[in-house]
Structure 1
Amino acid sequence: MAPLDGQEKDVQLRGQWYRGGTSKCWLFDAGDVARHAATRSDVLKLLADAFGASDSRQLDGVGGGTSTTSKAAVITATPDGPADLDYLFAQVGIGQATVELGSNCGNCATAIALYAVQNGIVAAGDVATRVTMRNLNTEAVLSGTVATPRRRVPTSGQARVPGSTAPGVPVRLSFHAPWGQTTGALLPTGSASDPLPLAGGAAPAVTMVDAGAPAVFAPAVDLGVDLRAMTAPLDDRMPELLELRAAAGLAMGLRSADDPPQHAIPKVGLVAPPAPYTAADGSHIAADTHDLRVRMLSMFAPHPAIGLTSAVAVSTAATIPGSLVARSLRPSPNAEGTRRLRIGTPAGVVTTEVVTDADGAVVEVVLDRAARQLAVAQIEVARTVA
């Protein structure tokens, strides 16, 4: 059938759908994408069309209609490069035909590590297979280790993570030297704590870091948010939180005053000291099970758990004396070596391993995650002419 007036011929794009941690990500081979999109702007339009991004329900595309399920990565094998593969991470818009490339996603990186083993980008080892990945958005280097006993490529597993009851293949994900990759500095403003002026005269104290992803943290109590119930609606606080993100983006140099605010970065987090709270599934989380409480935003809504790049930002900020994250922590020595940080989130307690050097600088943040392939598909992308 000939294309209708005002419409180009539909595109068939091969993709693989994965769950990584608490996100779902469509993964695409760069060669397949290049057959339909010659430039970076063409790639963004292709992804927006494939996901049906212009509709808030993403009804005519493969998007999931939420920020944690509207994600994609374009992957290039790089056997002679600094990593086994490069990937471009895309946060696809919901209700807007936009795609943001300003960040990274650890949950998608978890999925990419499994994808690399299952698709032969990295040959399976005798016991475990380590996949190194370079994120092209930020130049961050990550590694994911997948168990491959007797060189068996896993298709299922029993690993679970807070925020999902479904099991998956265990993946141990490491962020290497995870700071300064977007702005060039761990503390983009040079300070561990800054007042951030907002409209109406309020100027809450915040900590702005670039670690894993650019992030801004504020005490929950200062913004009138009670973290005893992690699923309480934030509708009445959302305008102020979005304004906080926009102001922090300016202060961190992520955009100029003439640029529209970004929605994916900086990440916005509300922090509080450890205390009993109720998780999203109704379970009671005791105060002695975690070292601090955190509730993050994801685009325009509260995150149901915590993104991995946000967990890296929290973990790194926790090592900075005077940061608002460190002030919320249960007292703990900040010695050289490996330290476990237990983060109370709406989905439960997420644990990171924070490796520091003799000066207390973070050299690695490690998390245990799970991933699973959901589908291999030929996506019929309806391409419309504006």
Structure 2
Amino acid sequence: MTGPEGVRCMLMRGGTSKGGYFLAEDLPSDPGARDDLLLRIMGSPDPRQIDGLGGAHPLTSKVAVVSASQDPETDVVYLFLQIGVDLAEVSDRQNCGNLLAGVGPFAVERGLVAARDGRTPVRIRMVNSGDHATVTVPTPDRCVDYTGSAEISGVPGSAAPMVIAFQQGGGPLLPTGHARDLIDGTPVTCVDNGMPTVLIAASALNVTGYEDPGELEADAALGARLQEIRLAAGRLMGLGDVSATTVPKLSLLAPPVHGGTVMTRTFIPVRCHTAIGVLGAASVAAGLCVEGNVGEDVARLPATGERLRIEHPTGFLDIDTAVDHSGATPAARGTAVVRTARKIFDGTVFPRPA
């Protein structure tokens, strides 16, 4: 804590999300007290989040809590927290690959990782899943440089590339053990390559998969059907009752229209993403590489070794991934993606009084 009321905070854009980045030591150690404080910092519960940092949308109501790692194999530990917008909820049931892009530069800025001259790799353990990733941060003259020519869909302008390499997770790529399951007559592929995700052909739900996100959100019948599928898929994937959680995500698949691999509309889980999350895209990409998946009739896979371009409402996201079919079950061999991040402010945030 920097004072009796203020809390040290860095607001950053990470990928196509935005959130508050905190050192764990600057927040209460008790999870309940921490979550209460973060709700007041972000301005929740309030659909406008008018009295806090939140941007009135799940993509801009996020928090990264970072600390030094005691494990010699990693540099820092990253806990992602999804802060409810109009509900007083704080969830740690998922990762966020977009905010992950900012964890690397944040760790260097806070002195948790010593900057190298040129590029600095930051090895990160993601608390939410136990998975590991390395974010390579541009550090010319041993200082973080956020400027550059890398562009990502959904973000205006360009910035320095933050290259994220994900290690293969310990859990199964196909949590149900099948490339295709049937939920109340709807074929789905349940996949987890960093984010539990349910793949569904858009045509199976009588939509095109090209609709505007707002149009899909306004379709009450579609929303009810997606919730039914999500609850059933959660049980099939070993996640239990997911009625109060944000996972699994659901991605509707349609043929690509801009030369990519597939067009997506992703629900997170009620709002329709205006783009697609990094880990969600990683799961979509890996799922499409599994023989017998529900996207075989709509996706156009590139040649072996080439990146998969996942199209979404505001552009695309390129993913390097491959699936190994040599074992008893398919397994992801590793995933890499280029994101950008930018420091917006670094200072003291004053939470709404308790």
1:199-232 alpha-carbon deviations (Å, 9 max, x no partner): xxxx211111121111111110111221334446
For the 8 Å contact 2:208–2:254, the answer to whether it is kept is no
Whole-angstrom CA distance in 1 between matches of 2:198 and 2:22:
31
Question: How far is 1:266 from its partner?
Answer: 0.4
For residues 17-28 of structure 1, the aligned pairs below 5 Å read: 17-28=11-22
- 1:29 pairs, out of 23, 32, 36, with 23
Task: Count residues with an aligned counterpart.
Answer: 346
> Which deviates further from its counterpart, 242-251 or 127-136?
242-251
- 1:193 pairs, out of 180, 186, 211, with 180
Q: Structure 1 155/319 Cα, relative in aligned 2: closer, same or farther at 3 Å?
A: closer
Question: How far is 1:299 from its partner?
Answer: 3.6
Question: How far is 1:368 from its partner?
Answer: 0.9
Indicate the residue corresponding to 2:299 in structure 1: 329
- 2:204 pairs, out of 214, 222, 226, with 222
Whole-angstrom CA distance in 2 between matches of 1:178 and 1:290:
26
Q: Structure 1 91/331 Cα, relative in aligned 2: closer, same or farther at 3 Å?
A: closer
> Which deviates further from its counterpart, 113-122 or 341-350?
113-122
Whole-angstrom CA distance in 2 between matches of 1:127 and 1:13:
32
Q: Secondary structure at the match of 1:110?
A: helix
Question: How far is 1:300 from its partner?
Answer: 2.3
Question: How far is 1:317 from its partner?
Answer: 0.5
Question: How far is 1:295 from its partner?
Answer: 1.0
Structure 2's unaligned 5+ residue stretches are none
Whole-angstrom CA distance in 1 between matches of 2:57 and 2:213:
16
For residues 109-128 of structure 1, the aligned pairs below 5 Å read: 109-128=100-119
Indicate the residue corresponding to 1:341 in structure 2: 308
Q: Secondary structure at the match of 1:160?
A: coil
Whole-angstrom CA distance in 2 between matches of 1:250 and 1:228:
29
For the 8 Å contact 2:214–2:272, the answer to whether it is kept is no
Aligned-partner residue type, residue 340 of structure 1: R
Aligned-partner residue type, residue 23 of structure 2: D
1:225-250 alpha-carbon deviations (Å, 9 max, x no partner): 21334446111122222332222212
Could you list the structure 1 runs, at least 4 aligned residues long, displaced by more than 6 angstroms after superposition. none
Whole-angstrom CA distance in 1 between matches of 2:30 and 2:109:
28
Indicate the residue corresponding to 1:280 in structure 2: none
Whole-angstrom CA distance in 2 between matches of 1:80 and 1:291:
38
For residues 122-161 of structure 1, the aligned pairs below 5 Å read: 122-161=113-152
> Which deviates further from its counterpart, 12-21 or 157-166?
157-166
Q: Structure 1 60/10 Cα, relative in aligned 2: closer, same or farther at 3 Å?
A: farther
- 2:89 pairs, out of 89, 98, 113, with 98
1:138-189 alpha-carbon deviations (Å, 9 max, x no partner): 1010111112234343143332201111322210111110462xxxx22221
Whole-angstrom CA distance in 2 between matches of 1:110 and 1:247:
32
Q: Secondary structure at the match of 2:12?
A: strand
Question: Which structure is larger by alpha-carbon Rg, 1 or 2?
Answer: 1
For the 8 Å contact 1:178–1:365, the answer to whether it is kept is no
Whole-angstrom CA distance in 1 between matches of 2:282 and 2:53:
29
| Correspondence 1:273 to 2:255 | yes
Indicate the residue corresponding to 1:213 in structure 2: 195
| Correspondence 1:374 to 2:313 | no
Indicate the residue corresponding to 1:262 in structure 2: 244
Indicate the residue corresponding to 1:238 in structure 2: 223
For the 8 Å contact 2:66–2:107, the answer to whether it is kept is no
Whole-angstrom CA distance in 2 between matches of 1:290 and 1:332:
9
Whole-angstrom CA distance in 1 between matches of 2:169 and 2:249:
15
For the 8 Å contact 1:53–1:96, the answer to whether it is kept is yes
Q: Structure 1 10/117 Cα, relative in aligned 2: closer, same or farther at 3 Å?
A: closer
| Correspondence 1:302 to 2:272 | yes
